[in-house]
Structure 1
């Protein structure tokens, strides 16, 4: 189920972020991850429009728990993460679609060394705009854009 983020989702959101980040970004230092673990609930989430995906209907351990989220800073995706056991189930695509419905054209930065994220954004039609260096890590960032959906002719 897709819904707006609520403050009591914070522990689940941080857990999803950490699990997905450790899988997709093994090149990030522990010091950087520790800082980001602090920044997520204290800096990023309070300033972002965030949507979450809550597991439901299977009666399993995750039922009622946030298993994915997208955080938007204007029309920029600040983060889109899905708990690894729930990946490839359409959750990321549903979160992306909600972001697109809310904002139209979207932009995102993804680490070049993150093949999981790069493949996801390519599958969903993002096009490259350029690259830069992520100052805190020295890693290359790719800037991507997804144009707004065009209305279908009648």
Structure 2
């Protein structure tokens, strides 16, 4: 079976619904501690605010959007891959694309999201700070990480 390489391209308006669904499904798993109500509210904010403010790149797998990375300068605002196809290197490909563009990257990840934290550690990020609360003042530890070129 021939494997077609995944395309990474800028987000298009028609990608929005698929990417919000990927964000919500992935967040219900990785950010379960925030609760469904808060995640549904955040999904609206991702759609109405964050996707419009960030430089977003979508990865196409089997002909459809399978994940995305949002960049604000050298800061990763989010990296999400459809949980049904995680483990196939799509997150790594998005990260590599961002590194090619920006050289150095920073991000924040919830300490409770051990899968993402470990992913970033495996990909050369180091912890530079910890905060006892997230950006909304909730009592969830956030780890600030950086990767230099």
Instruction: Give TM-score scaled by structure 2 length.
Output: 0.91
Distance in 2, matches of 1:99 and 1:17, equals 18
Kindly indicate whether residue 108 of structure 2 is the aligned counterpart of residue 109 of structure 1: yes
Distance in 2, matches of 1:82 and 1:37, equals 15
- Structure 1 regions of 5+ residues with no counterpart? 57-63, 149-154
**Paired residue for 1:81?**
80
Kindly indicate whether residue 64 of structure 2 is the aligned counterpart of residue 65 of structure 1: yes
Structure 1 residue 54: Cα displacement:
1.0
Q: Root-mean-square deviation (CA), in Å? A: 1.0
Distance in 1, matches of 2:36 and 2:26, equals 15
**Paired residue for 1:59?**
none
Q: Alignment length, in residue pairs? A: 141
Distance in 1, matches of 2:79 and 2:115, equals 12
SS in 2 for 1:89: coil
Structure 1 residue 5: Cα displacement:
0.6
Distance in 1, matches of 2:148 and 2:13, equals 31
Structure 1 residue 135: Cα displacement:
4.3
SS in 1 for 2:119: helix
Deviations 1:8-53 (A, max 9, x none): 1000110110111111111012232122111011100101001111
**Paired residue for 1:134?**
134
Matches within 5 A, 1:4-153: 4-56=10-62, 64-132=63-131, 133-136=133-136, 137-148=138-149
Distance in 2, matches of 1:32 and 1:145, equals 27
SS in 1 for 2:34: coil
Give structure 1 regions of 4+ aligned residues with deviation exceeding 4 angstroms.
none
Give the direction of change, closer, same or farther, for the CA distance of 1:135–1:94 in structure 2 (3 Å limit).
Answer: closer
